[in-house]
């Protein structure tokens, strides 16, 4: 079986490619700026040479998408390519082109070619602030209330996915990622937080972390990766888009844990508010229909991240 993974050299994408390859799948990585070293972080050269084809391409280029899918006999797509929050909010027209038009092109290619499955990365940011919902855990089918351009593009993607399923029978599943972290995080406001809070102390450097009291759903990268791969194998679920959760912890809790396992770590928490995405979500549907439950606690994920970056710099594990 052959998969196309858009954005397949990013933090999540490279690990999805890793897991698919180690299942014996052939994978076509479709990326605007392929970063092969990120694949080499998680796969050896032989695995890449034997099982991975890298295509430089734009997700808004429908003819190239169709050509690539046809040429490599792709049966399933995992669509991750897109602008993140800061990039989207800084350039709304580009966000609409990449996140909305690009996602439509992926769905349209799947429709034209009759592909078996599309899984794509939505976001829990489609919901509004937690206080807008009466339940402690926001229901999976709660009304969307996106608060920024990025969130609005993801809400649009969910509406488009529903339309393609209802009108054309294209089997599309969205996974709403929470706050994903791990070594290799290059982009976004949360990447800067992880650098200051986790990566710098891991290398003996001081960290200055904003938003000292923020509550964040810490989602170690291997959890959303597993949810996405599982979803690619389940057909015509009752639910079209699924919420998944990380481990809700404050930045203060994470800082305390980092100091505990790295004695002498210098971490300064700076005051400030953080309007983050909701962290308490109803995950019953994804558990029942896809069989996914998170496996990584904050402690386990933070320690793994620390040891991964230390290994890359020739330092012993903690």
Q: Are residues 126 and 142 in the same domain?
A: yes
Assigned domain for 47 exists? yes
Q: Are residues 194 and 137 in the same domain?
A: no
Assigned domain for 31 exists? yes
Assigned domain for 318 exists? no
Q: Are residues 203 and 139 in the same domain?
A: no
CA separation for the pair 98, 264 (Å, rounded): 44
Predicted pLDDT at 192: 86
Q: Are residues 138 and 261 in the same domain?
A: no
The active-site residue out of 3, 30, 127, 150 is 150
Buried b (16+ CB within 10 A) or exposed e, 121-151: bbbbbbbbebeebeeebbebebeeebeebbb
pLDDT at 272 over 80: no
Predicted pLDDT at 275: 61
CA separation for the pair 266, 273 (Å, rounded): 22
Assigned domain for 141 exists? yes
Average pLDDT, the chain: 95
The answer to whether 88 touches 157, Cβ cutoff 8 Å, is no
CA separation for the pair 238, 242 (Å, rounded): 10
Q: Are residues 34 and 72 in the same domain?
A: yes
Predicted pLDDT at 98: 97
Domain that holds residue 77: 2-181+218-245+278-295
pTM of the model: 0.95
Q: Are residues 113 and 9 in the same domain?
A: yes
Residue entry with tokens 């996106």: 146
Nearest of 95, 224, 193, 105 to residue 150 by alpha carbon: 95
Q: Are residues 138 and 209 in the same domain?
A: no
**What is the average per-residue pLDDT within 192-199?**
93
Q: What are the pLDDT digits (tens) for 206-218?
A: 999 988 778 899 9
Q: What are the pLDDT digits (tens) for 100-116?
A: 999 999 999 999 999 99
Q: What are the pLDDT digits (tens) for 244-260?
A: 999 999 999 999 999 99
- Which three-class secondary structure state does DSSP give residue 149? helix
CATH of the domain at 170: 3.40.50.720
3 is catalytic: no
Report the percentage of the chain scoring pLDDT > 90.
89
CA separation for the pair 11, 312 (Å, rounded): 16
C-alpha distances (whole Å) from 241 to each of 23, 201, 218, 238 are 25, 37, 20, 9
Q: Are residues 104 and 62 in the same domain?
A: yes
Q: Are residues 169 and 208 in the same domain?
A: no
Assigned domain for 201 exists? yes
pLDDT at 174 over 70: yes
Structural domain total, the chain: 2
Predicted pLDDT at 32: 94
Q: What are the pLDDT digits (tens) for 175-191?
A: 999 999 999 876 667 88
Assigned domain for 130 exists? yes
The answer to whether 115 touches 74, Cβ cutoff 8 Å, is yes
Q: Are residues 109 and 174 in the same domain?
A: yes
Assigned domain for 317 exists? no
């Amino acid at each position: 079986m052959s998969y196309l993974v858009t954005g397949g050299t990013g933090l999540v994408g490279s690990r999805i490619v890793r897991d698919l390859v180690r299942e014996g799948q052939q994978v076509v990585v479709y990326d605007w700026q392929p970063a092969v070293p990120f694949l080499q972080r998680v796969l050896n050269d032989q695995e890449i040479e034997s099982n991975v084809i890298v295509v430089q391409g734009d997700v808004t280029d429908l003819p190239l998408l169709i050509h690539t899918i046809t040429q490599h006999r792709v049966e399933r797509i995992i669509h991750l390519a897109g602008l993140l929050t800061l990039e989207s909010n800084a350039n709304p027209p580009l966000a609409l082109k990449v996140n909305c038009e690009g996602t439509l092109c992926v769905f349209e290619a799947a429709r034209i070619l009759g592909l078996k499955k599309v899984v794509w990365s939505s976001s829990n940011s489609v919901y509004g602030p937690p206080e807008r919902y009466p339940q402690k855990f926001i229901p999976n089918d709660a009304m969307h209330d996106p608060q920024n351009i990025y969130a609005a593009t993801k809400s649009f993607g969910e509406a488009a996915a529903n339309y393609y399923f209802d009108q054309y029978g294209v089997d599309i599943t969205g996974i709403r990622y929470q706050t994903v972290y791990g070594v290799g995080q290059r982009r976004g406001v949360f990447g800067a937080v992880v650098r200051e809070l986790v990566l710098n102390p891991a290398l003996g450097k001081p960290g200055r972390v904003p938003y000292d009291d923020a509550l964040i759903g810490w989602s170690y990268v291997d959890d959303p990766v597993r949810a996405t791969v599982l979803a690619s194998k389940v057909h015509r679920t009752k639910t079209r888009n699924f919420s998944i959760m990380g481990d809700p912890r404050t930045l203060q809790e994470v800082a305390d844990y980092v100091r505990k396992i790295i004695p002498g770590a210098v971490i300064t928490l700076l005051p400030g508010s953080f309007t983050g995405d909701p962290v308490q979500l109803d995950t019953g549907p994804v558990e029942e229909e896809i069989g996914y439950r998170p496996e990584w606690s904050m402690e386990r994920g933070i320690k793994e991240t620390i040891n991964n970056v230390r290994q890359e710099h020739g330092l012993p594990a903690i």
